[in-house]
Amino acid sequence: MPTTPALRTLAADEIRTGGDHLFWTADPSETLSESLRRTGQTAPVLVRDTGDGPELVAGRARLLALRALGRPVLVLMVDAPADLDAGLLYLADNAARPLDDAMRLAALRFFAPLLDRAALAADILPRLGVRPGSKDARLLDAWLDLPEPWPGHLAEGRVPLAAGEVLARLAPADREAAAPLFASLGWSRSNGVNLLTWLFEAGKMTGKPLADLLAESGMADVPALGLSPKDAMARLVALARQTRYPALSALQAEFEETARELSAGTAWRVVQPNNFETGGAELTIQVKTPAQLARAVDDLDAMAAKPGWEKLWNMGGRRD
Amino acid sequence: MTDPAQLPRHLRRIGRVFVDESMLDSPLARRVRDRLAGTTHADIPWIAVPEGQDRVECAGRDEQALYLKEYKGRFLRFCPGTRAYHCCGYRIIHIGENCPMACSYCILQAYFQDRVLKVWANQDALFRELAEGFGADRTSRFRVGTGEFTDSLALERLTGYSRDLVGFLADYDNVVLELKSKVVDLSWMDAATRTDRVLPAWSLNAPAINQGQEFDVSTLEERLTAARTCAEAGFRVCLHFDPIIHFPGWREGYAEIIDRIFDYVRPEQIAYMSLGSFRCMPQLTPIIADNFPDAAYIYNEFVPGLDGKARLLRPLRLEQFSFMVERLRRHGMDEQLYFCMESTEVWNEVFGFAPQDFGGLNRRLMDRAFGN
C-alpha cells in the first residue's frame, strides 16, 4: 500500500468521517478522551484527499475525541484512492484491536464487493486472524450472504457465529420466521445451533414452512409468555427437539413417566440406554455406605413388585 | 433398437481409462479396448499408471474414469456385518470398487470420494485365490456375491467380468454366485452351465424413490422384466428392498412395487428377498445433503444404532417392515424373506421368530441358495 508520509495538522471539522471503510466505528472511550486531554495526540489519524476535501481513513475515535476537545488533529496524509486501499489501511491501523466474530464479519462485508471470494479468503481472512479453509472461515463465508437482522444479532451476541451455515441453508421466508426467536434472547453456541438445525431439518422432513412449524409447536408463543430468558430458551429448545423428533420425543416422555412411577421415593435412576433400539432399561444408583447399599436393595425389591415394568421394557416395539 | 455405438447411459461419463503398467497386456485390458472400439468412446485416452503411483484423477467435473488395476489384496472376503445385528453371512468376491450410477443413499459415496471406477484386472490372481478357497473342501458350501463394493453388472458391457466369473465357477458346484445390480445386462447368462448356481438379483424400491433418488439406473420395469427373463430361463432370482426409505406416501409406493413384482415372477422363482431399512455411517448424511439437496428422507428420525450407524427409530422401521412383510406374505412369500442387519427384537416383532429359531440366517439363506 503506497503512502505519502506527509504529516499535517487540520481542524477536526474539516475532515469527513462517513466512509464505509470505517467498518469498526465506535464512540471514543472516556479513557481515550482523558488521555488526549492530558497528553495530547501521540499518533496521527490517517486521512486521504478525495479531491472533495480530506476524508478520514482510520482513527475515528481519536478524531471525535479531539473534535469534542476543540483541538486540531495531527493527520498522516495517505495515498488511498480506492475504497479497497482505504479499507486495507483501516485494517492495518487497527491491527492491534481485539476482534470478535461480528467485527470480522463487518470487515468481510466491506471487502466482499471489492474482491472475489478467493482473494477475500487469501488476503483478508489472515489479517483478521482466521486461517483460510478453517471452520471459522467457512462460517464467516456463510454469514456473508445473510441479510439483516442476522449480522445485527451476531453483533449483539444473540446468535452464535456457528449458526451461520444452517442460517444460510434456510429459505429466506424461514429465516424471517425464525428471527423473532433471536430478537431478545442471547443464544449459546450449542443451543442456538441445535435450535436452528432442528427447525431446518424438521422443515425438510415435513415439507412445511418454518412459520407453520413454529405455530403448530407453540414455539411462536414462547417469547410472549413472560419467561426468564433462560427458561424461554430451554422451552424453545425442548419444543424444537420435539418438532424434529416427534416419535422419539413421545417415546422418551412416556418412558420417563413410567420410570418415575417405578422409582418414586428411591435414589435409583431408570433410563433407556439406546434410543429404544432395543427394549429394556438401565438401572443405576450411587452408594457410599453399607446402609445406603441395604436401602438400595430394599428399594429395588419394592420397585420390582410394582406394575409397569413390562410396559417399560417393551417401549419402542410395534404398536398395533 | 439400441445403437451399438452408444454405451449404456450409465457408462457414458467415462472419459478416460487408466491401466496399471503391469496390466496393459492383460486379457481384461484387451477386452475393454476391443469393446470400446467402435463406440462413441473409442477415442478416450488410455493412460498407463506406473508402479508405485497410488492416485489417478479424473479430468472434468462430471467425468468418470475406468481404472484397470492390479489388485494386491484379498479377493474373497467376509461381508462387513456387525455382531449387534443379524448378518446374512454372504461372502464377497471383490472384483472392483465404486459405481458409475448415482443413488442418493449409496454408501459408496462415503467409501470412495472420487469418480474412479476400479476393476481388478489381474483376474488370474483372483481365480487362483478362488480356486484355493472353493476347491480345498468341495463339501463346504459358499454363497458369494460381487455387489458389495460395486454393482455386479454395471461395467459388464465393457469388462465381461461377471460372465468370466460365472464361467469359472461352473467347475465349483459348491458355490452359488449372486449377481446384484440396478441395471440390466444379461450377457453372462449363456456362460452358466447350471442355472441353479447363479442367482441374478436386482434391488427394488418404491417408484418415487426409484425416480427421485436413483439416477442412471434401469427402470423398475426393466429390472423386473430381466428377472422374468432369468426365471423363464430356469434361474431363481433374488430381489432386495434395501434401502427401504420412510417418505410421505411410502405405504402406497411400496405396496405398488410389491404388487408389481408378482406380475413378472412367481414366489417359487424367488430364492430370497431381503428387506433393509436405510442406515448409514454418520459421515454419509452430510455427503448426501451436499450431493442430493432434495433428499429429504435423511432428515427423518434417525438415532445411533448398536453398531454406531444412524438408523430409523425402531417403531418406524417396524411399521414399514410389518406393512411390507404382510403384503409380501399375501402374495405367497414366506421363507424367502429376511432382514438385512436387523436385531432379534425386530425379527420377533415382525416375523414372530428370529434367526436362532431356525438355525441361523446364514444357514437358512445357504439352504435357499442351493435350493434345499
Q: Which residues of B touch A246 (CB under 8 A)?
A: 301
For CA atoms A262, A263, A268, A269, the dihedral sign is positive
In a domain, B61, yes or no: no
In a domain, B220, yes or no: yes
Identify the three-state secondary structure at position B94: coil
Q: What is the amino acid identity at position A272?
A: Q
pLDDT in tens, A219-267: 999 988 999 999 999 999 999 999 999 999 999 999 999 999 999 999 9
pLDDT in tens, A137-185: 999 999 999 999 999 999 999 999 999 999 999 999 999 999 999 998 9
pLDDT in tens, A265-279: 999 999 999 999 999
Long-range CB pairs of B366-372, under 8 A, 24+ apart, other chains included: B366/B89, B366/B141, B366/B143, B368/B271, B368/B272, B368/B335, B368/B336, B369/B143, B369/B176, B369/B178, B369/B199, B369/B271, B369/B272, B370/B141, B370/B176, B370/B196, B371/B196, B371/B236, B371/B271
Query: Mind listing the domains of chain A with CATH numbers?
Result: 6-93 (3.90.1530.10), 146-244 (no CATH), 258-314 (no CATH)
Distance CA A207, CA A203 (A): 5
**Rounded mean pLDDT of B233-241?**
98
Planar angle of CA A212, A217, A221, nearest 5 degrees: 90
Q: Which three cell numbers stand for residue B239?
A: 430381489
By CB neighbour count within 10 A (0-12 exposed, 13-18 middle, 19+ buried), where does A159 fall?
buried
B126: distance to nearest CA of chain A, Å? 40
Q: Which residue of B has its CA nearest to A313?
A: B345
Q: Residue window 181-220, chain B: list those with CB within 8 Å of chain A.
A: none
Please count the structural domains in chain B.
Answer: 1
Q: Which residues of A touch B314 (CB under 8 A)?
A: 276-277, 316-317
In a domain, B290, yes or no: yes
Instruction: Provide the residue range defining the domain that includes B307.
Output: 72-114+122-369
Q: Is B216 left (phi over 0), alpha (psi -120 to 50) or beta?
A: left
**Interchain contact, B304 vs A207, CB within 8 Å:** no
In a domain, B85, yes or no: yes
In a domain, B149, yes or no: yes
Can you list the alpha helix ranges (DSSP code H) found in chain B? 27-36, 108-111, 123-135, 156-159, 161-169, 207-213, 220-232, 250-261, 284-291, 314-330, 344-351, 361-369
Q: Residue window 310-329, chain B: list those with CB within 8 Å of chain A.
A: 311, 313-316, 318-319, 322
**Interchain contact, A205 vs B296, CB within 8 Å:** yes
Q: Would you report the helix, strand and coil content of chain A in percent, each value rounded to 5?
A: 60, 10, 35
In a domain, B36, yes or no: no
Identify the three-state secondary structure at position A79: coil
Distance CA B177, CA B134 (A): 12
Q: Which residue of B has its CA nearest to A197?
A: B299
Of A277, A318, A319, the CB nearest to B303: A277
Q: Which residues of A touch B322 (CB under 8 A)?
A: 318
ipTM score assigned to the predicted complex: 0.89
Is the model's pLDDT at B135 over the cut of 60?
Answer: yes
pLDDT in tens, B310-352: 999 999 999 999 999 999 999 999 999 999 999 999 999 999 9
Of A207, A245, A317, the CB nearest to B301: A245
B228: distance to nearest CA of chain A, Å? 35
In a domain, B215, yes or no: yes
| CB contact at 8 A, B83 and B132 | no
Q: Which three cell numbers stand for residue B143?
A: 454363497
Note if the bond before B200 is cis, omega within 30 degrees.
no
**Interchain contact, A317 vs B303, CB within 8 Å:** no
In a domain, B9, yes or no: no
Q: What is the amino acid identity at position B14?
A: I
**Interchain contact, B314 vs A277, CB within 8 Å:** yes
**Any A CB within 8 A of B349 CB:** yes
A304: distance to nearest CA of chain B, Å? 23
Of B303, B306, B343, the CB nearest to A248: B303
Q: Which residues of B touch A319 (CB under 8 A)?
A: 315
Who contacts B257 (Cβ-Cβ below 8 Å, separation ≥6)? B204, B205, B206, B207, B220
CATH number at residue B110: 3.80.30.30
pLDDT in tens, B246-263: 999 999 999 999 999 999
